[in-house]
Amino acid sequence: MFAVIGAVLMVRLSLPYIHLLPHTDFLQTKAFAYSVPIWRYSFYTHVFSSSFVLIAGIIQFVPYVVQRIPRLHRIAGYTYCAGILLISGPSGVVMAFYANGGTSARISFIILSLLWWFTTARALQLARHKKWMDHVAWMARSYALTLSAVTLRTYALGIGLLHLEIRPIHAYILISWLSWTVNLVIAEIWIRTGGPGKLIDSRHQ
């Protein structure tokens, strides 16, 4: 449910950028980066492609789809992997080098982008070799990183609602790391408590 709500939220947040105006929402903080063509192209590419990736990723973990509509599962899976490996992942790396929050936040987003690409590539490789249990585990890791865009905004909202006395720059650095590390921990717990096995079982019932 969290993933569905997050996907809807991300689509809504992406819509204002359709007009390609330089002072839209988040872009107000990126005046310098926006003047750099490679960052600007990467930003729009990343924003619009990531919405499709989020939605395609959800389908991979719906038991009914996996069990009853395998063709949709495969199409969504290839869409998800292609979107990350060819579009969202590379553009995310470019954006990471210009991230707000200084060196610490940039390192976090660079690591996130590289891990996102690697976990997705690994999941695709395992699927091609029909190693389904390992495939599901690596897809879980990949999608946990995909959801970092949602959790980052969730943490930012939480800090604002709780009125925590923390400087904005420090808050952003903190959530830049928490947004994906906590997700990976949750994914590992799901993997080690038999999550992949349950999904594989539903696939072959």
Q: Which residues contact residue 180 at a Cβ distance below 8 angstroms, ignoring those fewer than 6 apart?
A: 108, 112, 115, 144, 145, 148, 151
Q: How many CB atoms lie within 10 A of CB 1?
A: 5
- pTM, rounded to two decimals: 0.90
pLDDT confidence of residue 182: 97
The tens digit of pLDDT for each residue in 74-128 reads 999 999 999 999 999 999 999 999 999 999 999 999 999 999 999 999 999 999 9
pLDDT confidence of residue 34: 92
Cα 97 to Cα 17, 38, 63, 105: the distances in Å are 21, 11, 38, 9
Cα 67 to Cα 26, 70, 167, 204: the distances in Å are 40, 6, 48, 7
pLDDT confidence of residue 3: 64
